[in-house]
Structure 1
Amino acid sequence: MTKHSEEPKRRRHLMSMRKPALKWQDALPSGNGTMGAMVYGSIQEETILLNHEELWEGSRTKPLPDLSRHLPEVRRLLAEGRYREANRLYPDKLREADYIVQTARFHPGFDLKLWTETHYAFREYVRELDMETGQVSVRWLDGPIRYERRLFVSRSDDVIALVIRADQKEAISVEMRLEPHDLKDAVDKAGRPLELPFSFESAVQEEFLMITGKRLREGTEFGALARIAAVGGSRTIRGDKLEITGADEVLLLIRLFPNGDSRAEMPNLKEKLLSLPPDYDMLFERHQSEHRELFLRAELDLGASESERAGVNEQMLLDAYAGEASPAFMERMFDYGRYLLMSSSRPGGLPANLQGVWNGSYAPPWSSAFFNNENIQMNYWQAMPGNMPETMLPFFDFFESLVPDMRKNAQAFYGCRGILAPLFASPDSGLKKNLQPHVVYWTAGAGWLAQHFYDYWLFTGDREFLRNRAVPFMKECALFYEDFFYEGEDGYYISSPSNSPENWADGSFDGAREISVCVNATMDFAVAKEVLSHLCEACNELGIEPENVEKWKAMLNKIPPYEINEDGAIREWMHPDLKDNYHHRHQSHIYPLFPGLEVTEETHPEWFEACRVAVEKRLVIGLKEQTGWSLSHMANIYARLGEGDRALECLEISGRSCVGDNFLTYHNDWRSQGITMKSMWGFSAPYQIDANLGWTAAMLEMLLFSAPGIIKVLPALPGRWKQGSIRGIQARGGVEVAIRWDMEAARAEVRLRSSRDQWLTVKFPRAIRQLDCTGGCRDSSYGPLYREVFVQRGQELKMEIEFDS
């Protein structure tokens, strides 16, 4: 073997497993943000699933019928308490107009199959992912010969590279083929076989494997080409397989085209593959330097030992079943969330969908679409604090591309200007397509998306982005609110029809705990208030649109204040008919606290406490309704509340129930131990990447909170995380932060580096005995846990803190 194939000395960001995958959801993922590969890791018959972010099919689109003339009727029904009738009205009108449409589905690419000659029962098997480089490796001992396969998806050359090596000459004999992905994954939600909407053709040449798929509904083609380069050995074509015998090394370079004419695309792929050097190590070095720079911008250390970090996934999960996740497990989940986001979201491409860029299902759960009532936002909560701002750019590009369709939604559904986001979308269409009431009546999506636009400005200080992208998008949202909201008798706005994502209100009316449509969902007003406030701040910053700023301020004064129920929890619906229903996983009414920044303990202590009560009801009364993504969401909320032990508890519950052997997360019932014991979609609970990415976001929130002008150091540090460090994380206001702590010794060190001169309020987790600061430092009016410090542009400010014991 070459020097490159030696066991890595640095084990800081490795994920190791001791068994191969039996299904695609258990494979190890590699990706460059555009293409993805999943390595099963079998020795004798290997499968590598190949994906591309632009593989979508099945869209059916029609012009939207005009429903706006029915808006007065649905509002009248709601005002009269006839919720069941209102719930049916718009969906029935859509059916009457024959508006039967379909969101496109993200579909698999192909399988690369490898059949390897074996002679002995294997020993010393390991399947491994190096998150620092994006390389997946499989190693084993076959008698006296040590074999390995290594794969990565190149960021620099846009190619999937796979090498097969052995530590003896002429030891590699392998057959290979490109074929359609395993048809056992062509099943519907109930596990029934699907009629496959594709046809396939494959071919083999001496140096190439190729396959083309045709989408039968659309008539479009997609395909893959693999170039084979071997050192030594002989080649034989056997039907649709290529056999290589007695080689020293075998290299495969693979590219996919997601849409196009195969007669033109295959020669293009061939030309590009032939232009690359047939040298795995050279290609890897070009790739890994770019990958490593992005991955290592932030790094977490929770004090795990090197032997703990070398532990295998399977054992970590078994240990997590005891109830306490190890520091090594938490470090690995933190790293994995970073790795998965950067591997499935890249400038110039699409944002990460429900499964990133990896999918082996021909009918993926919820089409694997882009959902904006929680999931797409959760995918990106970690991007800015985690120091990966470029991963946000596909998010902005995608939703800006949907603005024309979202304007059609606003006009057709409610006769409004501005934009109305669909609850979920695919790359080809932003029209509302689903007829379920909770989808039809969802109006807060665009405003929630707008939060990320403004947050990008808060983190980066990019004024051109603020002027040219954030403000225009927020103005579209504000236009919708201007036309959609109407004043009640008390002078406050009414939001009708309304929806609190996927939840159903309790109460004495017909349809309680069953229907989706409502009036005055708290989230509607929280999102609208945020959009209008951010617009005013942005325009004042830029010195533009003074007349609109006055209009938006007047609108803000008409938004009703939040309400608190008899339990002391913030109400999910601000209407006397609609009582809180704690038995649900969505927690949208807590939006002002998280993911919003409106409610903090400093600004609104009463609402802050009401949010705490509300989330506690979900974790205790509503625990059985929770799943992977909602537990990640709940962990983020507890982090905002400063309750680190509760945040960690949420992640640990998820770790015991919603995490697979390869640490991918699932939409799984926590009471059914093991991912495959409760079949929800075909043969398994649905894999969803949002909980993975939300997990990392929660850990960041536990270690650093930031809002304009204030940061909180270790705001929700769990009691068990006694020592640790984190570096490279970002705070709003353009501040990079590094923290090192030892709570047993009652010490911490904080380093701040700012992109501009500014005073910052810093809150510390415990009472301060002594604070040494290299810059300006003074007391804060907030109290003894706070200090105000002055950070100069480009200069590091260091604080050494001793806490009271």
Structure 2
Amino acid sequence: MPKSTILKCITPATRWEDALPIGNGSIGALVYGNICHETIILNHESLWIYHDKPEPPDISATVPELRGMLAGDEWSFSDMFLDFMLREKGYDASQVHKDNYHPAFNIRIDVEPTAPFTGYCREIDMATGEARVSWVEGGVRNTRRCFVSRDMDVFCMQMTRDFPGMSCKIFAEKTPLVEQNAHTKDKRYTWDDIPISYDVLAKPAWFHVTGTYKNGDQFGGVGHVVAPGGDVSVIAGRMIITGARDVFLLVKLFTHEPAASAIPRIEGELTRLVSSSKEKSPYDVLLADHVALHQALYNRLEIDLGTSPVDIEKPNEQLLLDAYNGEVPTALIERMFLYGRYLLVCSSRPGGWPANLQGVWNGYWAPPWSSDYHNDENVQMNYWAALPGNLAETTLPYFDFYEACLPEYRRNARVLYGCEGIFAPIAQTVKGKAPLYGGPWLNWVSGAGWLGQLFYDYWRFTRDDKFLRERAIPYLREVALFYENFLVESKDGKVVFSPSLSPENVPSVKGGSLATINATMDVAIAREVLSTLIAGCEHLGIESPGVARWKALLAKLPAYEINADGAIKEWIHPRLRDNYHHRHQSHVYPLFPGLEITRWSNARFYEACHVAVEKRLVIGQESQSGWSLAHMSNIWARLHDGDRALGCIETITRPCVGPNLFTYHNDWRHMGLTLYWDFIDKIFQIDANFGIVAAVLEMLVFSRETEISILPALPARWQKGHIRGVATRAGVNVSIEWDAERGHVSIELAPGLDTTVTLELPGQVSSMSLNPGTVSVLPSPIGDRFKIVSLHAGEVITMQASMVFAKQGNRDQCTAIGHDS
């Protein structure tokens, strides 16, 4: 296992964004760690303040007019044209309210101090999912431990004191209405703005919380206190515990169920849980079962980046101060990696909802962007690391969520463009609902296609043919059907994307707007959808007529183009000039997050993507954000430049990471390291937490279906280390131990199927040994660093190789080993 799985802080939280997050995939808790007035916020993935949405009218008959304006270079009016057409028919998209993700309620624990504290610490054991708060008071150690049970869906807390006679107050309350974020700085919310009423009841050893929406739907929770050796009474709605040896608190939530049936049901369940533990602590019994399930996921992968033994014991605050002053400790990068995987395990599980913009954690009633699902980058970034990080199960709620939206996606395609197939909006919230929010984003037709990437990637990593047949192919077929209806053939025989949009950039032309023609990203996503759909169907031997149609359409897609600067063009249109002044890198989609362009497959456009990324550097740091730096790190890794990939992550740690290692959207202190936007305070956004994990994985292992690169973008600072348990698109799990100074690499390949892969090594091999020695390893025509390896399902092979590690980011070398396709 890694040298340490402890995330440690030495100061308490004063705001929810800095609290310690724990969770079981569907239920989250935020633990502040305050000694005298402890606060724990409980969240449930399905709690959203839902607003009824009007049905959008059919405006598809106006699309030819829009296309005519775009063909005539009437850019400035075109981007809002569809929005205006909706308004003319009485649908004001600006008044279609998003549904805010909201907290369930708070738990408060009050204690009277007996002496000044010493030895304070709050921490999470990421390997178990347990949070701990401890301190010494008058020579007596006090400890609070808590977790959210994966198998029983119960928040569990144990409070202990080395000396008998614990006293405290425990009560539940609705989460206070404290709104300080970008969306509310000009407005102070009151409870009149929140369409929920609350009832809280306390009785000896129990509390009940019921929240009721305006439509009568209810949610809430039941808490049960067990205090061996002590007394429990109720005064003014607070449970008073005195003289206890230990105190146990169990809380279970209910959602979308009448309180009249939920509360007695949960009381019975919690009573049985306590009684079934018999002589054992109910906390320890539940923890043991939880840890087994948690570790079955978390322990699949381990990493060591050569972290200093001294740094690995430092608390977050010290590591962040070191980073802030310019020298980012490797221990912090390693901890961020482990933490990102931990957060995914805790916020996304089968049968639930996918991780939203804040995972599953939230303390606001009106969180930034409603804590929604943004379909133009953010939700995709949430899951970039899931499959290579060996957490395939965490992607299942993503598929459930987007499949549930298919009926409304079909409606959107029909009323906007008169097309069959599906159209996904820029953002959405409640499962199964996909309203049209209007604005220029109605011109972006690639949302559904980009969402489809993970469907096919799931098959690549798992080789689950049942999933491919029953879920991936049907979803991709819906996207392809839209393209078949939407795309119009031009005189040159190529199809045209009109309208088209490159998130979130505007071309450098007079009157330029988001609405354009033939954005490279739109073409790239369509090419990816059609190519993977064809490959999947051919693998299964199905859909022959469809395959023929899709191949014909694929051949008609516009070819990518390179501008006079040598950069891949953002718009494949002669009158739309590139605009380098934007943080988004949508046009390099074929390089990343797509798999179409690699230095193996297409040297010319690989170099053009490299130039395009370099050109984007003109915007400077103050146009970046936390998530965009994470995205850039992944791109630099694909460009085999580990130092610049690591540099992006290091920059994130300075302005965009809090004491609990949550990532923020921006530099809230206005220090010039990211954009500012005049937010009142920090904006927690979890996508960069996940994007960092993906970037580290990209630096250490890259894969396509028959290709695996070992240490393709190893930063100079990571001279020695190991990673074990990385999954690949080749259906082979990879473990690597390396020592660049000695020029040695040990590689373990664990195939799940019979396959032959092209293996790229990080340098030219001078000697190699294999175990077993019967494995077939042949030279590759690509170059000396490449080997063709034949693998058999279940037969693990180990390669020991000596070499001089290649220089990272060597563009001449990258071009030399590629070939045009």
After superposition, the Cα gap between the structure-2 partners of 1:674 and 1:524, relative to the gap in structure 1 and judged at 3 Å, is closer
Give CA deviations for 1:624-657 in whole Å, capped at 9, x if unaligned: 2111111111111111111100100111111111
* Structure 1 position 483, deviation (Å): 0.6
Q: Quote the RMSD (CA, aligned, Å).
A: 1.7
Tell me the equivalent position of 2:735. Answer: 738
Rounded to whole Å, the distance in 1 between the matches of 2:675 and 2:109 is 30
* Structure 1 position 16, deviation (Å): 0.5
Q: Which amino acid aligns with 2:78?
A: A
Tell me the equivalent position of 2:174. Answer: 180
Cα pair 2:412 2:436 within 8 Å, conserved: no
Q: Which amino acid aligns with 1:739?
A: I
After superposition, the Cα gap between the structure-2 partners of 1:523 and 1:258, relative to the gap in structure 1 and judged at 3 Å, is same
Give CA deviations for 1:517-560 in whole Å, capped at 9, x if unaligned: 11111111100001111111111111111121111111011101
Q: Which amino acid aligns with 2:319?
A: M
* Structure 1 position 803, deviation (Å): 0.6
Consecutive unaligned residues in structure 2, runs of 5 or more = 275-280, 806-821
Matches within 5 A, 1:642-657: 642-657=640-655
Give CA deviations for 1:444-469 in whole Å, capped at 9, x if unaligned: 01111111111111111111111111
* Structure 1 position 222, deviation (Å): 1.4
Q: How many residues align?
A: 789
Rounded to whole Å, the distance in 2 between the matches of 1:505 and 1:251 is 60
After superposition, the Cα gap between the structure-2 partners of 1:565 and 1:41, relative to the gap in structure 1 and judged at 3 Å, is same
1:702 lines up with 2:699 in the alignment? yes
1:39 lines up with 2:31 in the alignment? yes
Q: Which amino acid aligns with 2:638?
A: R
Rounded to whole Å, the distance in 1 between the matches of 2:69 and 2:535 is 38
Rounded to whole Å, the distance in 1 between the matches of 2:557 and 2:620 is 29
TM-score by length of 1: 0.96
1:604 to 592, 602, 605: 602
* Structure 1 position 60, deviation (Å): 2.7
Cα pair 2:766 2:802 within 8 Å, conserved: yes
Q: Which amino acid aligns with 1:179?
A: E
Rounded to whole Å, the distance in 1 between the matches of 2:433 and 2:68 is 29
1:161 lines up with 2:164 in the alignment? no
Q: Which amino acid aligns with 1:746?
A: G
* Structure 1 position 674, deviation (Å): 10
Cα pair 1:678 1:685 within 8 Å, conserved: no
Cα pair 1:78 1:519 within 8 Å, conserved: yes
Give CA deviations for 1:135-190 in whole Å, capped at 9, x if unaligned: 110000111211010010011211000111010111x1111110011212387432
Cα pair 1:625 1:669 within 8 Å, conserved: no
Tell me the equivalent position of 1:21. Answer: 13
Rounded to whole Å, the distance in 1 between the matches of 2:570 and 2:216 is 46
Cα pair 1:771 1:801 within 8 Å, conserved: yes
1:397 lines up with 2:411 in the alignment? no
* Structure 1 position 506, deviation (Å): 1.5
Q: Which amino acid aligns with 2:358?
A: Q
Cα pair 1:186 1:363 within 8 Å, conserved: no
Tell me the equivalent position of 1:688. Answer: 685
Matches within 5 A, 1:396-795: 396-437=399-440, 439-507=441-509, 509-510=510-511, 512=512, 515-669=513-667, 672-673=670-671, 683-774=680-771, 775-795=775-795
* Structure 1 position 310, deviation (Å): 1.2
Tell me the equivalent position of 2:815. Answer: none
| SS of equivalent to 1:418 | coil
Rounded to whole Å, the distance in 2 between the matches of 1:124 and 1:544 is 65
Give CA deviations for 1:350-373 in whole Å, capped at 9, x if unaligned: 000001110111111111111110
Cα pair 1:627 1:670 within 8 Å, conserved: no
Rounded to whole Å, the distance in 2 between the matches of 1:186 and 1:628 is 19
Tell me the equivalent position of 2:220. Answer: 223
Rounded to whole Å, the distance in 2 between the matches of 1:122 and 1:677 is 40
Tell me the equivalent position of 1:113. Answer: 108
* Structure 1 position 12, deviation (Å): 1.1
Rounded to whole Å, the distance in 2 between the matches of 1:269 and 1:502 is 47
After superposition, the Cα gap between the structure-2 partners of 1:779 and 1:414, relative to the gap in structure 1 and judged at 3 Å, is same
Q: Which amino acid aligns with 2:455?
A: F
Tell me the equivalent position of 2:385. Answer: 382
Cα pair 1:779 1:786 within 8 Å, conserved: yes
| SS of equivalent to 2:727 | strand
Rounded to whole Å, the distance in 1 between the matches of 2:601 and 2:460 is 19
| SS of equivalent to 1:139 | strand
Deviates more, 1:651-660 or 1:86-95: 86-95
Cα pair 1:432 1:440 within 8 Å, conserved: no
Q: Which amino acid aligns with 1:740?
A: E
Rounded to whole Å, the distance in 2 between the matches of 1:268 and 1:674 is 54
* Structure 1 position 620, deviation (Å): 4.2
Deviates more, 1:187-196 or 1:559-568: 187-196
Give CA deviations for 1:584-604 in whole Å, capped at 9, x if unaligned: 222111110111110011111
Rounded to whole Å, the distance in 2 between the matches of 1:526 and 1:676 is 29
Q: Which amino acid aligns with 2:663?
A: T
After superposition, the Cα gap between the structure-2 partners of 1:492 and 1:70, relative to the gap in structure 1 and judged at 3 Å, is same
Rounded to whole Å, the distance in 2 between the matches of 1:665 and 1:383 is 18
| SS of equivalent to 1:323 | coil
1:308 lines up with 2:305 in the alignment? no
Rounded to whole Å, the distance in 1 between the matches of 2:246 and 2:599 is 62
Tell me the equivalent position of 1:4. Answer: none
* Structure 1 position 696, deviation (Å): 0.2
* Structure 1 position 679, deviation (Å): 7.3
* Structure 1 position 236, deviation (Å): 2.3
Rounded to whole Å, the distance in 2 between the matches of 1:143 and 1:534 is 65
Deviates more, 1:606-615 or 1:276-285: 276-285
Rounded to whole Å, the distance in 1 between the matches of 2:328 and 2:586 is 28
* Structure 1 position 18, deviation (Å): 0.6
1:65 lines up with 2:41 in the alignment? no
Rounded to whole Å, the distance in 1 between the matches of 2:571 and 2:672 is 36
Tell me the equivalent position of 1:317. Answer: 320
1:254 lines up with 2:251 in the alignment? yes
Tell me the equivalent position of 1:266. Answer: 263
1:242 to 225, 239, 242: 239
Give CA deviations for 1:414-473 in whole Å, capped at 9, x if unaligned: 000101111111224433321221x22111011111111111111111111111111110
Cα pair 1:423 1:432 within 8 Å, conserved: no
TM-score by length of 2: 0.94
